[in-house]
Structure 1
Amino acid sequence: MRRAIFPGSFDPITLGHVDIINRALPLFDEIIIAIGVNSDKKYMFSLEERIQFIKENYKGEPKIKVETYTGLTTEYCEKVNANFILRGLRNPADFEFEKAIAQTNRKLSGIETIFLLTSANTAFISSSIVRDVHRHGGDISGFVPESVTKK
């Protein structure tokens, strides 16, 4: 089985995340959207809300699972028998950052990272920008799936 994890905080899930996930669906038998839990990080949306946003967006899609994890991503991959880590790239800065992480992960565990370039219409979207717009009362509906805007 070709199983991938798509790790992140998803605070909140954005249309950029959705674009990467949807385009990766034909490539894998299963994609685990793995929400990393970091007790030192302050989140805008609770873990339960983030899980619900994703589950609601992918209800009816049997190839998607949503789970949480702590610790090293490579250890989580081993635990769930994932063969790949899925990551989206928006720009050259993302590439440099993600390349270093991918090389480290490969050195630690041999796991491969698969990169997909974000679509041009979502490449500018980031969770931090969405949080900032939301925090200041702006309309985030053009940046996130409906499961988030309903909240």
Structure 2
Amino acid sequence: MSTAVCPGSYDPFTLGHRFVVERAAARFERVVVAVVVNPNKKGMFGIEERIALIERDVADLPNVDVRSWTGLVVDLLTEEGADTMVKGLRSETDFAYEIPMAQMNRELTGAETFFMLTDPRYAHVSSSLVKEVAKLGGDVTPYLSDHIHSALIERIEGVLRA
């Protein structure tokens, strides 16, 4: 069975992320969306919240599983029986950032990284930018599924009230 892992922080999971996962799901028998835990960062959403939001967002993709991971992503590939990592690329900046990691992952375990170009509608979208625009009152509905947009706005309003 061909299995691929799509790692990321996904804080929040955008339609650009969804685009890459959907395309991976069409090409691999199983896709694991890995919410990677970075103990040095505090996200807007906790890990379990992100998993629940993503699971709801990809519920229509029966071959996609969502889980968290702490540590080297290549170790997750080994645990999941995968030999492929799928990463989305928005621009040449993403490519330049990802290449050394892909090369290191190949050297460590033989894992290959497949790069997928995102839909041009989302080439300028990042989770960080979406959060910043939303915090300042901008409209981010074109970049998020409805339930993730609602969760983001609710979280921002809760922070502002606190």
Same fold per superposition (TM over 0.5): yes
Distance 1:89 1:60 in 2: 24
Distance 2:61 2:26 in 1: 12
Stretches of structure 1 lacking an aligned partner (at least 5 in a row): none
State which structure, 1 or 2, has the greater radius of gyration over its C-alpha atoms.
2
Structure 1 residue runs of 4 or more that deviate by more than 6 Å after TM superposition = none
Matching residue's letter, 1:138: G
Question: Residues 29-108 of structure 1: matches in 2 within 5 Å?
Answer: 29-108=29-108
Distance 1:43 1:3 in 2: 28
Q: What are the superposed Cα offsets for residues 98-130 of structure 1, whole Å, 9 maximum, x if unpaired?
A: 111100100011000001011111111111101
Q: What are the superposed Cα offsets for residues 29-85 of structure 1, whole Å, 9 maximum, x if unpaired?
A: 011000011121010112122111111111142101001010001111111111210
User: What RMSD over aligned residues (CA atoms) do the two structures have, in Å?
Assistant: 1.1
Distance 1:16 1:60 in 2: 17
Shift of 1:142: 1.0
Structure number with higher relative contact order (C-alpha < 8 Å, ≥ 6 residues apart): 1
Matching residue's letter, 2:7: P
Look up the SS of the partner of 2:54 in the other structure. helix
TM-score with structure 2 setting the length: 0.89
Partner residue in 2 for 1:128: 128
Distance 1:147 1:107 in 2: 40
Identity %: 38
Shift of 1:90: 0.6
In the alignment, does 2:16 pair up with 1:16? yes
Aligned residues: 151
